[in-house]
A and B are shown apart, each in its own frame.
Chain A
């Protein structure tokens, strides 16, 4: 369970998040949506202790962020940041193996190699393992980064817009793999998504953020309405229901 209580955050004097209370239950996929600049990445980076918490409290699986060592938290929570700019020439296999660091602390063993193989297999990266990250497509690169987070083998996974720049096939494949991590491995996934239709199509729960506040949360069918699109996203789009899930007609 991820529990957030009274979380507020300001950057350079301007408030970004306002007194957020949020509880995300164990398991399943939670999509974090909201307009650009709503504070989704900030919220994720606070949960992942990449920024210091200014006010409020966050616990992940009972461990309090900010009081738990980086090392322990790295075995509880994996995070894939929004911008994954890597200047170094690393191979796909190198990158995925870095995900094992919290467990081996510099001395990889047979178990770690097993996990890396598993991640490469599951994310269909075996044929690309020796390729450098700057020699593969954007979709393959995103997949490699998610595979690295998967190899970290943590019960909680935070992904910030992993579908950026992906074509429809790559995006659907990746969402399928994310879904699988929740369904097959019982991991708790929090994913920031840009496209509401991907959120309603793949997530169990939505959390909608606007101007640093939670505007709505719940199951997609209850949340995604024309009123929400108007009030939160400022656009008047039609919402249709298909197979019990709401879809935004764009």
Chain B
């Protein structure tokens, strides 16, 4: 499964490098100076960004699902994504000339506050009612999203909002996507604590009975999720669904032991986002469909199929 996935990702990687507005053969891209420039400035960054975003979105989705002990939740739509957008927006309004680092920090801090708020809200919900969690998360994300719209309206920023809130990769150039590496490092950190996170899926009490420092592990995981989400929102915009669909698919095949599941999740997330971006580039070329839109279509379809399969199986 891993090998097939890796081969698929490599194929998509080459494909992603090969397609674009400028007509260049793959050989030209490597051999001619203009080709190399195009590749280093635009196509390679875009491809790398898609992969990093996919890895981050999928892994943080899975980690949040373990923390919430619920399958139907992901940070991008459950408040962290909207909070990150709020952070960027407030930062732009209050400190118009702020450096990207400041915006990034504002987004990460707001995402953290948003995630903590969500965790506090869903913690008392009974695990026997699994649909309450996504409902609460949906409303919570919606409320923060409404605040974002309100602030943007007050600050005459409505026209930027659409661009921000729809994740897309067309603007990715060298020098404008590197924040995603911070997100990748945070994703990698969740893999380092994969065993501890898996224990949390037994419930807080059982995890503590095994000697796990539940508070510390939860805090570390929430921080990692928030950083990943914030970096993606700041760099590309919101990309929903990846964090929901990919972990569910992986859990079906490989289970929820994160040491085993997280690498597969990362791989599948990268494949999904890269494939969706390639599709968005070719489907009505020379125009582009934002990656968030393509993913919403692919993701929603995949999810419905998955739910249906689950029903016939159960």
A residues with CB within 8 A of B: 45, 48-50, 69-75, 77-79, 81, 84-91, 94, 98-99, 101-102, 105-106, 108, 132, 152
Contact = CB atoms under 8 A, between A and B. Distances in A.
**Dominant secondary structure at the B interface:** loop
A115 to B, nearest CB: 14
B257 interface: yes
Given A77-B209, A101-B210, 17 more contacts: A45-B205, A48-B209, A50-B205, A70-B208, A70-B213, A74-B209, A74-B211, A86-B202, A87-B69, A87-B130, A88-B66, A88-B198, A88-B256, A89-B255, A98-B199, A106-B193, A108-B195
A98 B210 CA distance: 8
Interface in B179-232: 193, 195-196, 198-199, 201-203, 205-206, 208-213
B136 interface: no
Contacts of B199: 98, 101
B71 A71 contact: no
B203 A85 contact: yes
A50 B205 CA distance: 6
A94 B128 contact: no
B209 A50 contact: yes
A98 B202 contact: yes
B171 interface: no
Contacts of A89: 251-252, 255-256
A77 B210 CA distance: 9
A87 B201 contact: yes
B92 interface: no
B70 A102 contact: no
B253 to A, nearest CB: 10
A152 B212 CA distance: 13
A81 B209 CA distance: 10
Given A87-B71, A87-B130, A79 B203 contact: no
B127 interface: yes
Contacts of B251: 88-89
B210 A102 contact: yes
A99 B210 contact: yes
B310 to A, nearest CB: 11
Contacts of B196: 106
Nearest to B195: A106
Nearest to B130: A87
A94 B208 contact: no
A87 B70 contact: yes
Most chain-B Cβ atoms within 10 A of its Cβ — which of A49, A70, A84, A99? Answer: A70
Given A86-B201, A106-B195, A73 B211 contact: yes
Nearest to A100: B210
